[in-house]
Amino acid sequence: MSGKLSISIVVATLDRPEGLRQCLRSLTEQTMPRPFEIIVVDNNPASGVTAPVLVEFPGVVPVTEPRRGLAYARNKGFIASTGQIVVTTDDDITMPREWLGRLTAPFDRPEVMVVTGNVIPRELETRAQQLFEAYGGLGRGLQPQIADGTCFHRFRSAVPTWKLGATANAAFRAEIFSHPQIGLMDEALGPGMPSGVGEDTYLFYRVLEAGYTIVYEPNAFVWHQHRRGMADFQRQLYNYSKGHVAYHLTTLFRDHDLRALVQIGMMVPAWHILRAVRRLCGTSQYPLLLILLEVSGNLAGPWSLWRSRMRVRREGRSGTYIPVARRSATAAGSGQLAQARNLKA
């Protein structure tokens, strides 16, 4: 069945021309037996950095989203897409030629709404890159995972959707973006917003809450270019820590999930204490200063989420995703109406 589904790939980019160039080369070399659509969303069109790269790839569909934020950019790409399956990746990702086929294969099962793949570091040359992997990285291991609606209610603390992968390497049935219980990404979450991250984990949360299935397929792996410099890594770590709390607060206030209080009030502090004890006992090399940085990010989470909500209120929400079949029907109806008007004239 997955072989009959049309595919769109959405790449959100922000002023990283060389990374985008490498990503697009990898995408155009995919060994899929049928054509697929590539959409690049420029999240800073005013810089003029991305447009020259896209000239090198004439088959790519260019889209612009001047409102800063990964969720804004991805939503713009989703709305512009025409595929029944929408794949997301980033401008710091490259992939082997078999990646797209492996990532979309699980959609043979009709209950599967999301598939994620493994994210492997492209290099581990610097101290910052090694520490990012020590922190947890983006990979989720070599064992396949399946999560469904029963998993959503099984946990006494928060549903650990962050363990299911990331939208740097993910695919979605496009129909979820118009589903009343799921919809597009929450614009107040994610990179580019004060809240830091969380747009993907919250979308996974909504999918499971609606009773659908998410599959993690480790064989559908990609390579990620970790930040090389320590300052960039520390900024990323701080944003991740803010975003973790912002995500849980979103499930609390939007979905009335009281398990978020258990996660924020008990599980997160306990995890920090455990790692600090391991470091002091010499069983871990993870620096105490980074643990303190994570704690400070957690504490900034509520204020950061509020700032993000205010920004979305000022800048507005994304548009509405309209399924391709309905777009075609609307276009056909408009054409018939125009023809009738011409005949009448």
Judged against a pLDDT cut of 90, whether residue 342 lies above it is answered with no
Strand partners, 216: 116, 145
List the one residue out of 214, 98, 96 whose CA is nearest residue 152. Answer: 214
pLDDT in tens, 238-249: 999 999 999 999
Judged against a pLDDT cut of 70, whether residue 343 lies above it is answered with no
Residue range 103-123: mean pLDDT, rounded: 97
Judged against a pLDDT cut of 60, whether residue 340 lies above it is answered with no
Residue range 12-23: mean pLDDT, rounded: 98
Judged against a pLDDT cut of 80, whether residue 156 lies above it is answered with yes
* Spatial separation of the C-alpha atoms in residues 128 and 227, rounded to whole Å: 7
Q: Report which residue type is found at 345.
A: A
Judged against a pLDDT cut of 60, whether residue 235 lies above it is answered with yes
Judged against a pLDDT cut of 60, whether residue 341 lies above it is answered with no
pLDDT of residue 325: 75
Contact 307, 246 (CB under 8 A): no
φ/ψ of residue 63, rounded to 5: -135, 145
Q: Is 36 helix (H, G, I), strand (E, B) or coil?
A: coil
* pLDDT band, residue 334 (cuts 50/70/90): low
Judged against a pLDDT cut of 70, whether residue 221 lies above it is answered with yes
Contact 172, 86 (CB under 8 A): yes
pLDDT of residue 2: 59
Q: How many whole angstroms from its chain centre is CA 218?
A: 17
Residue range 325-337: mean pLDDT, rounded: 58
Across the chain, mean pLDDT equals 93
Hey, what domains does the chain have and what are their CATH numbers?
A: 8-322 (3.90.550.10)
Contact 208, 151 (CB under 8 A): yes
* Spatial separation of the C-alpha atoms in residues 19 and 96, rounded to whole Å: 15
pLDDT of residue 333: 53
pLDDT of residue 345: 43
Judged against a pLDDT cut of 90, whether residue 86 lies above it is answered with yes
Proportion of the chain above pLDDT 90, given as a percent:
89
Poorest-confidence range of 8-12, 311-315, 326-330?
A: 326-330
* pLDDT band, residue 344 (cuts 50/70/90): very low
Q: Report which residue type is found at 65.
A: E
Judged against a pLDDT cut of 90, whether residue 277 lies above it is answered with yes
* pLDDT band, residue 157 (cuts 50/70/90): confident
Q: Which two tokens stand for residue 292?
A: 């303190």
Contact 121, 133 (CB under 8 A): yes
Judged against a pLDDT cut of 70, whether residue 139 lies above it is answered with yes
Judged against a pLDDT cut of 80, whether residue 100 lies above it is answered with yes
